[in-house]
Amino acid sequence: MINLTIEDIVRMERIPNKISLGNDFCIVDFRYSPDFEELLKYPVSFDGVMAFFCISGSFKIIVNLKEVEVSENSVFVNAPSNILSVSESRNEDIRDLHFVMVAVSREYMSSLKLDANRLFVDGMKILDNPSIKIDDREKGLAADYFDLISKILQYPSPYKRECLGNIISSICYLIATAWGKKQSEPQEHGIPARRKVVVSNFLHLVSEHHMSERTVGFYADKMCLTPKYLSKLIKAATGRSAPDWIDAFVILEAKNMLKYSNIPIKGIVAKLNFPNQSVFHKFFKAHVGMTPSEYRNS
């Protein structure tokens, strides 16, 4: 799995239309090219916030193993450390794809003046449903913001970071407003806020430690919970057990290394902290239905 930074995005020659502010922020105007699917064919994570504003076309993206569609006139928001890849599901509209991507580093986000208490509930709604449709007024506001950001980044001022921070804070409130309008179902029909926080923290920890830690006890200890209580919350909130989620991340990582690297299988066994190749082979075959060698050659 590749851990992207804003500097990595800026250096990508296949993405020509972009402006940035150091490793704090970048904005990309992206149109489909054959390279698009190549760029995200393997899982990546970004330790910050990304927002995709889709102008035309559509594509399917996998977020922590869940497929989400990003279509015309929609906004997709990605939370820090989620694992992303383009779905292999066929989508005929991908060749008409045109979207604007905004990426903000975790450090820059933490420096912004935001009322976390006011944004909490709508932030949880974004975790539930990261992609929504926007109306013409919201599209117009987004276009105005992007135009203003571009002008500020091109203006010779020593206060660009401060100016931009205030604009991003404003955008966060507008995004929360949009989700609040579109996702206003009663709380009893959704996942209680406490469970959402636990799920988000658990998935973040798994994305960070799955290559070395596969026991529920490790993650429960990190979250100051008992393994039994953590397992109960994860199962109730997602329909999948905590061990299932951990295994899924490990399998995703193994598939990525088998398909998109030349690391020998014994090296993958070591990287994923399996005791030996036999245990890894049994684990992989039980989840994928073929051996690691068969998967690499398929």
Does one domain contain both 154 and 227?
Answer: no
Q: How far apart are CA 194 and CA 5, in angstroms?
A: 30
Cα torsion 131, 133, 138, 141: sign: positive
Distance in Å from the first CA to the final CA of the chain: 20
Does one domain contain both 181 and 203?
Answer: no
The CATH number given to whatever domain includes residue 14 is 2.60.120.10
Does one domain contain both 182 and 200?
Answer: no
> Could you tell me the pLDDT band of residue 189, with boundaries at 50, 70 and 90?
very low
| Statement: residue 6 has pLDDT above 70 | yes
Final residue in a domain of this structure, among 157, 186, 215: 186
Domain enclosing residue 282, as ranges: 193-297
Q: How far apart are CA 184 and CA 172, in angstroms?
A: 18
Average the pLDDT over each of 48-52, 222-226, 291-295 and give the range with the smallest value: 48-52
- Nearby residues of 38 by Cβ (< 8 Å), 6 or more positions away: 14
Does one domain contain both 138 and 222?
Answer: no
- The whole-model pTM stands at 0.62
DSSP code at position 272: T
Average pLDDT, the chain: 82
Does one domain contain both 15 and 149?
Answer: yes
pLDDT score for 32: 76
Please compute the mean of the pLDDT values over residues 56-76 and round it to a whole number.
85
| Statement: residue 20 has pLDDT above 50 | yes
| Spatial contact of 219 and 230, defined as CB atoms under 8 Å apart | yes
Does one domain contain both 11 and 140?
Answer: yes
Final residue in a domain of this structure, among 186, 218, 246: 186
Please give the tally of structural domains in the chain.
2
Does one domain contain both 177 and 219?
Answer: no
pLDDT score for 127: 66
Buried b / exposed e across 56-78, counting CB within 10 Å, b at 16+? ebbbbbbbbbeebbbbeebbbbb
pLDDT score for 265: 94
pLDDT score for 120: 53
The CATH number given to whatever domain includes residue 235 is 1.10.10.60
> Could you tell me the pLDDT band of residue 31, with boundaries at 50, 70 and 90?
confident
Final residue in a domain of this structure, among 159, 186, 213: 186
pLDDT score for 277: 94
Does one domain contain both 24 and 153?
Answer: yes
- Beta pairing partners, 98: 31, 56
- Nearby residues of 162 by Cβ (< 8 Å), 6 or more positions away: none
